[in-house]
Amino acid sequence: MSMQKLVREVLDAAIAVIQGPIASIVGATRQWVTQSLDKLKGEGVLEITRTEIIVYQIDALQE
């Protein structure tokens, strides 16, 4: 396994850990949270790092 693939898998696992509690808080499935965060990330609304979710457009989250 390449180092890049290993790092990606570790980051994906870390993001999954974040998404589980978010799903519990909002009463949704982890899959829904994953899809929603990916959509918002693609739209430039937010960025997900290993340790935080950075929101660039707070108004977009209220829609």
pLDDT digits (tens, 9 = 90+) for 22-61: 888 889 898 898 899 899 999 999 888 877 788 899 888 7
Residue 17 predicted with pLDDT over 70: no
Q: Tell me how many domains the chain contains.
A: 1
User: Range of 35's domain?
Assistant: 3-61
* Residue with the larger pLDDT of the pair 14 and 62: 62
pLDDT class of 63 with cuts at 50, 70, 90: low
Q: How far apart are CA 54 and CA 1, in angstroms?
A: 30
Whichever domain contains 24, its CATH number is 1.10.10
Integer-rounded Cα radius of gyration of the chain: 13
CA-CA distances (angstroms) from residue 27 to 35, 36, 45, 49, 50? 15, 14, 22, 23, 23
